[in-house]
Structure 1
Amino acid sequence: MNATLNILSIQNGWVFSVNTSNEYFRGPFFYVTTCISYSCYILILIQLSRMRHAVIFPSKFLVALAYCLPIIATIFQFLYLEDSYITSSIATTLLLYYLTVQEATFDFDLPTKARNRIAFERILTIAEQRGQELAFILFDMNNLKGVNDTWGHHEGDHLLLSLAELLNKAFSPDGNVFGIGGDEFSVIIPRAKKGKMQVKMEQFELKLLEANAKLAHPIVADRAMYRHKAMRKESNLF
């Protein structure tokens, strides 16, 4: 709608017009396009809020910049008629979005939407540097090789994706899910939220039973729990 109104505005000045002296004037429908833009911003914000537990945010800072920049530019456009801030801010927003996507490819296994081994090692390093205590659970899918050999890797990949989704649903937002290699996953929970570990495990087991009732090849996952108390050597277990 905004694009159509602006294109038509070239002929009729609905949104803006420029006179022979090269002066910029707002048209009668200028605020319509602005309201449409802000409605989109609000809808996006609502959707992000609803999906905050399921969608990956590689960098909250970059995502915030990409979201806020066009809004800030629109505000400045109201204040300063002679300057155009929206076009340059959109270009910068696209650049920030590109950087966010690139960061996601480094820190996440995109097919399973779980953080990768690099991100896992980074969390352990940060915990060591800050003296933080972490609790984490290892999950090992037992039947993956048999499924791959019998039914093909496509079915095995589907099982990995299903397990990652179950872990994300059960442990988010308190815990982060990592794919640490092959058929192994790890969930890290800060010490402050360690008391929720048992409840989260029960949620996961319930969701696993529900999922296995629908899957052609049930997921069989062993688990083991370790404590990381600012001691890097424990990560050698993996």
Structure 2
Amino acid sequence: MMGNCRRWRYNQGKLQQETEFSEYGYGRAGGGKDMTDTIVGNTLGIFSLCLTISFATKNIVVNRQKNNLYLCAAVTTICLLLLETATVYLENNRSASYVILYRMINSLGFSLSPLVPFFLLCLNSIGKSSTLKALLLRIPLLINAVVCVLSCWTGWVYYVDAAGHYTRGDLFLLPAIVSMYYIIGLIAAILRTNAEYEWENNKVLLLILLVPVLCMVIQIIYTGFIIIWASVAISLLMYYIYLRELQFTYDAPTLIKNRSAFEKDMEHSGKASEQVVVVVIDLNHLKTINDCFGHTAGDEAIVDCANVIKQSFKGIGRPFRIGGDEFCVLCKDMPVEAVDKALYQMDHAAKDINRNRRFPLVLAYGYSVFHTRGREDIHTVFTYADRAMYEHKARLKSDV
């Protein structure tokens, strides 16, 4: 980044003030107030991230693997804030004795910069990328790190002269370009989850991500601002809150909404919709699957069941996991014929998936229709649907 500083020279016997373009990597070539403001902002960012890390280690977000990736992003951001603070200090206390340290800090800072969006991309792509794609994702990181380290001698990304003056190199934008590469991938990964999480939730996440992107653009254009990593710290705190909110709304294994969300949605549907078809679905023989094949197989059966329901009722209704082996779909203002067709598709989808399973998925279901002008409230209609499901379950057992 760049900032203005002043130097003095003699011209025809007179002392004149001359503006010099001085640049900096993570620091500012300004006065003490600028340094103090940056250090205070970075300290607050570090404090907020330490608090977030404390919460994340005690309360795992989504699952342990994703939680570890989030912690890696947070710890990396703390390192970058500390490096940024160090460069601010060194820029305002230039000395030839600090040159080697100054170069090392800039090389390390520029090398680590793309790691934060990289970790967040991995967090949102677990289980969706092949091993080859995962390896290819690491190549830009390696190239950036090599170029940044070599810049200590080549000046490709930055150059610090013997007096401690910093200037940008021809490849100064390389770390920013690599970071944007991962940010674009992260946005694409978020958009792909639109079928799993509602678009309203994804919009919130995209807004959280746009904050540091906007700050990065501002800092590149207006070089007097040092705001990138402080904004990243705030965004990571907001992201943690976002993930915790998802845990209160979504069932982590199946990525569909949970019982708490179902209760709220059903209450709202009973007031806002003219007609709601309440479909109750139960996965048969889950206890037998757990006993014979283990709880991992039982978890797989629940996830496969949820996927079959999501696929069959796409565009028809919203699915929820309301119990261990029990699901419910709320179909708002949809004709009963559309629900019958979705259930028919669900039966066929279950048969297709059973061809490759050690144990078959057997789904019992029933539904009832709520009308705003009817006598029964939506909770009573749910009871009728549950009763219809148990009647279907009994018929399935008698057919065996």
TM-score range, shorter chain: 0.7 to 0.9
* 1:186 and 2:332 aligned: no
Pick from 371, 379, 382 the counterpart of residue 233 of structure 1: 379
User: What's the CA shift for 1:81?
Assistant: 0.8
Corresponding residue to 1:36 among 162, 178, 189: 178
- The answer to whether the Cα contact below 8 Å between 1:58 and 1:107 also exists between their aligned partners in 2 is no
For 1:199 and 1:81, locate their aligned partners in 2 and report how far apart those are by CA, in whole Å. Answer: 60
User: Residues 148 and 18 (structure 1 numbering): CA distance in 2 closer, same or farther, change over 3 Å?
Assistant: same
Residue correspondence of structure 1 range 119-158 to structure 2 within 5 A: 119-131=261-273, 133-158=275-300
Q: Which residue of 1 aligns with 2:236?
A: 94
The list of structure 1 runs, each at least 4 consecutive aligned residues, that deviate by more than 6 angstroms after superposition, is 18-24
Partner of 1:74: 216
1:94-137 Cα offsets, whole Å, 9 max, x none, are 11221122122212221232321101011112224535643332
TM-score by length of 2: 0.51
Higher RCO (CA 8 Å, separation ≥ 6 residues): 1
User: Is the Cα contact below 8 Å between 1:135 and 1:188 reproduced in 2?
Assistant: yes
Alpha-carbon displacement from aligned partner over 1:51-73 (angstroms, at most 9, x marks no partner): 42246778234312232222212
CA spacing shift, 1:193–1:5, aligned 2, 3 Å: farther
**Is the CA contact 1:174–1:193 (under 8 Å) kept in the aligned structure 2?**
no
Q: Deviations over 1:14-64 (max 9, x none)?
A: 334678999875432123333222222222333333442246778234312
> Residues of 1 paired with 2:217 and 2:191: CA distance?
23
Q: Name the residue aligned to 1:213.
A: 355
Structure 2 unpaired stretches of 5+ = 1-140, 387-400
Identity, in percent, stands at 26
Code of the residue aligned with 1:234 in structure 2: it is T
> What root-mean-square deviation, in Å, do the aligned CA atoms of Structure 1 and Structure 2 show?
3.2
Q: Pairwise mapping of residues 46-65 of structure 1 onto structure 2 (< 5 A)?
A: 46-54=188-196, 59-65=201-207
Establish whether residue 106 from structure 1 lines up as the match of residue 252 from structure 2. Answer: no
Q: Contact 2:368 / 2:381 at 8 angstroms: preserved in 1?
A: no
2:344 pairs, out of 187, 202, 205, with: 202
Q: State how far apart, in whole Å, the 1-side matches of 2:334 and 2:218 are.
A: 42
Quote how far apart the aligned CAs of 1:79 are: 2.5
CA distance in 1, matches of 2:159, 2:320: 54
1:50/1:154 Cα in 2 relative to 1: closer, same or farther (>3 Å)? closer
Q: Tell me the distance in 2 between the aligned counterparts of 1:66 and 1:225.
A: 40
Q: Is the 8 A contact 1:58 1:103 kept in 2?
A: no
Distance (whole Å) between structure 2 residues aligned to residue 81 and residue 23 of structure 1: 16
